[in-house]
Each structure stands twice: as structure tokens, then as C-alpha cells.
Structure 1
């Protein structure tokens, strides 16, 4: 029996995103995201019901402001009190775990998919999924970009607009493109 593209994605192997099963899962996510983004805020609460049901795990008091976008949803795990501000995008081809009390500023982007380096591979839709983990009580500044395979430690700060390509230790502050450590003043 051949391994499905979804199984390859989950295992961190090269897979093609141009797969019917994966597209159906993305359509389900788009429907849940659309509902979340279009509900009146008082009716939506912290999360639209479809999005809350789709996510892999949602801690108490976790909140996602609209608009929001994700690829699949089921790979996203939010700890208690996590807050995602307006405009966040999570392309969750792999697990994205965000620890309790962590705050994401507006337009933060998390990209788990890495595309093939060869043009023919990209045209074939080849990707590899790499997880992202953000520890408790981290602060991710607006418009920061976090690439797949990165871990951000507890209490860390990622400056606005930073592009995080490497792990960030606990309680470190990083800024810039690529993100680099700076001393806290």
C-alpha cells in the first residue's frame, strides 16, 4: 500500500500539496476560517465555533482576532490565554504549538511548509512540513515571520518585523532579518 500525501506530510517527508485529500482538508479549514472572520465579534467570542472545533487544541481563554487564516487548523494547539491579534496567518502543514499566555501581534505569520529548491519539484507541489513551537509567555511582535523547524523559548521576545530562521532561547530578545539576539535594556 502506498503512503498517502497526508501521511507523508504528518511524518515530515516530502509530499505533494496538489493532492485531493489535502485540498479537501484545506477547504474545510477555509470554511471554518470564513465563519470565524465573518461572525459579529459579540457572536464569535474568542473563536468562531467551527474554528474552535477544527483546531487541534484550544486552552481556556485562548483568543484569535479576525481576520485570521490557517491552512489546515488541526495542527494548531493554543495554550491557556494565548492571544493572536488581527491578521495572523498560520500555514500549519506541521504542528504549531503556542504555549500559555503567549501573545502574537497583528499580522504575525508562521510558515511550516518549505518548498522544493528545484523548479520542477515546486511545480509538482513538493513541500516538506517542519513544526514550530513557541513557549509560554512569549511575545511575538507585529508582522514577525516564523519559519518551520523553529522553537521559540519561554518568555522570549521577537521584535516586530523580525524573520525568525533559527531557534530562540528562553527569555531572549531577537530582532531583524534574519532575527538576531539583542540585550534587553
Structure 2
């Protein structure tokens, strides 16, 4: 495959159009599978080694990241996370294109962030044909257990995604959204400051 062909594939990927496994094979050098394996098998006491591996795996990573193994990623290098990120076990990044995560984001166990889907008609899925669209998760978002975030979704500042949701469309800032498909349940307001007992109340 020549440079012009590679540019054509990258252009189609950038526009969310279909491309195949064979066409995208030149991107394999960006995969971080061995480093992800090493991270997932690093003893808990070797925090410095984990941090070093995470910086080698991800496209960019902020301060004080916490990512509990095991996690998986199609590439790893297309994931960008901000400061104070917390990812619980079994976080899956399907990052054929970029996943951008802001500051103070938390994910519960078994969350999947997938930038990639496949055509509905089987004749269009030959050679693992697929399309990819970036995911953006803004600052202070909390994503509950077993949530799936689909290609092209943006989740707005401070929002909470309820456990088990499938997020197929953008979620605005400062809302609680739940369900399959995920829908806004209500706004987050100052009333939520008192819905659980805080240390100051004791």
C-alpha cells in the first residue's frame, strides 16, 4: 500500500466512513499490546512502574492517574486522559480513533468505550469492514458499571451515566442519564449536594 492509499484510508476514517482490516494494517505499529500486557501483570506494589508503562501506552496522560488492571485497548496510543482519572477494573478502550477524557473522570468496573462499529448489512462486513468516530468525555464525568459508550459520542461536563446504560447519542452537561438507549433522566442541581451524608454532616 502506497502513501496515497494510506492517506485515503486516514481520510475515510476521519470522516466516519467504512474501511477494512487490510486497508488499515499500516496502523498496527501504533498498537501497544505488549505494554498493555506488561501493565496488567505488574504487581500492585510497583506503582512507579505502572505509571511509567501507562505513559508509554497512552497518547497522553495527566497527573495522578489510577487505572486498575486488567484493562484492554485496541491501540492505547489513541487514548488521551486528563488529571485525576480513575478507571476501575475491566475498562475497555476500542480506540481505532481518538478517545479524549477530561480531568476528574471516573469509570466503574467493566466500562467499554468503543469508537468503532460495523455496517449493518453482512455484505459490507467483508474483511472486518468498520467505521470509527472519536469519543469525548468532558471533565468530572462519572460512568457507572457495565456502561457502553458508542462511536461519536460526547458526554458533557459533570454528567453521570447510570450502570448498564448504552450511550448512543451525546449527553449534555450536568445531567443524570440512564438506560438502553441512554436518555437524560434529570438535571444535576444543588439539591444533590445533600443527597448523601457528607463528612461535614457527621
- Is the pair's TM-score, using the shorter chain for normalization, greater than 0.5? yes
Shift of 1:119: 1.1
Alignment RMSD: 2.0
CA distances 1:26-84 after superposition (whole Å, capped 9, x unpaired): 4xx21111001001011145845334212111000112110000001111010000111
Out of 43-52 and 68-77, give the one that drifted further. Answer: 43-52
- Give me the TM-score of the superposition, normalised by structure 1: 0.90
Asked if 1:21 is matched to 2:26, the reply is yes
Q: Which consecutive residues of structure 2, in runs of 5 or more, have no partner in the other structure?
A: 193-202
- Give me the TM-score of the superposition, normalised by structure 2: 0.83
Equivalenced residues, count: 183
Q: Which consecutive residues of structure 1, in runs of 5 or more, have no partner in the other structure?
A: none
Q: Which of 25, 34, 39 matches 2:37?
A: 34
Asked if 1:182 is matched to 2:154, the reply is no
Structure 2 equivalent of residue 110 of structure 1: 113
User: Does the residue aligned with 1:124 lie in a helix, a strand or coil?
Assistant: helix
Superposed, 1:45-84 pairs within 5 Å as: 45=48, 47=50, 49-84=52-87
Take 1:35 and 1:80, find their aligned partners in 2: how far apart are those partners? 23
Take 1:168 and 1:53, find their aligned partners in 2: how far apart are those partners? 31
Shift of 1:123: 2.1
Take 1:98 and 1:112, find their aligned partners in 2: how far apart are those partners? 13
Shift of 1:10: 4.9
- The structure with the larger Rg is 2
Take 2:90 and 2:79, find their aligned partners in 1: how far apart are those partners? 16
Whether the 8 Å CA contact 1:6–1:22 is kept in 2: the answer is: no
Shift of 1:121: 2.0
Asked if 1:167 is matched to 2:161, the reply is no
